[in-house]
């Protein structure tokens, strides 16, 4: 049942954010950058596919390790610190933004690039003001130790205590 809830969430929420909204943006706004990239467009598949892979791996871990879903209304019951979560605290959000950056590059779209930047800003604020305080309250010392050892966004960067 958890796997079905995760699947539905993945299709409807990140599917809307990374497929439906960019499709709408491209249909309403022609690409705003002039001049095509030609063959230089093909490497855009790298961040696109990397982002999709990251998101799906994290959704898998939330479902089968954390016993919950990526949905904030049905979060994991166990603290997930394995897999990609060993290297950064928010790989799922990074995956979504990477996918959008790949789309912005591939479609030569400034509108999608701006959307990706705004979405990352929203993710950052959500993490700071909702997610981290909630996880501190739920998981206590275990989450506090995790905060002190794993960077928020970029693997290998020294963790900052400021929020």
CA atoms within 13 A on the CB side of 103: 25
Burial of 39 (0-12, 13-18, 19+ CB in 10 A): exposed
152: confidence class by pLDDT, cuts 50, 70, 90:
very high
- Structural domain 2-149, CATH architecture: Up-down Bundle (1.20)
Q: What is the structure's pLDDT at 163? A: 40
Listed by start position, the domains of the chain span 2-149
Q: How many CB atoms lie within 10 A of CB 152?
A: 18
Structure tokens at 74: 């049905």
Q: What is the structure's pLDDT at 157? A: 74
Q: What is the structure's pLDDT at 55? A: 96
Residues 56 and 92: their CA atoms lie apart, in Å, by 8
pLDDT greater than 80 at residue 31: no
Q: What is the pTM of this model?
A: 0.88
pLDDT greater than 60 at residue 34: no
Whole-number CA gyration radius for the chain: 17
- Higher per-residue confidence, 90 vs 42: 90
Give the max Cα distance, the chain: 53
Q: How many CB atoms lie within 10 A of CB 34?
A: 7
* Core vs surface per residue 63-82: b (16+ CB within 10 A) or e: bebbebbbeeeebbeebbbe
Residues 96 and 120: their CA atoms lie apart, in Å, by 9
């Amino acid at each position: 049942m958890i796997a079905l809830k995760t699947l539905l969430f993945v299709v409807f929420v990140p599917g809307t954010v990374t497929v439906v909204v960019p499709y709408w943006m491209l249909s309403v706004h022609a690409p705003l950058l002039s001049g095509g990239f030609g063959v230089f467009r093909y490497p855009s598949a790298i961040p696109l596919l990397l982002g999709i892979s990251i998101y799906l791996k994290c959704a898998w871990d939330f479902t089968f390790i954390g016993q919950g879903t990526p949905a904030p209304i049905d979060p994991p019951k166990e603290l997930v610190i394995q897999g990609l979560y060993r290297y950064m605290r928010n790989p799922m959000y990074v995956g979504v933004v990477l996918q959008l950056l790949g789309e912005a590059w591939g479609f030569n779209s400034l509108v999608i690039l701006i959307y990706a930047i705004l979405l990352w800003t929203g993710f950052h604020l959500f993490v700071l003001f909702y997610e981290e305080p909630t996880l501190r309250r739920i998981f206590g010392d275990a989450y506090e130790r995790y905060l002190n050892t794993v960077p928020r966004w970029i693997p290998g960067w020294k963790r900052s205590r400021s929020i």
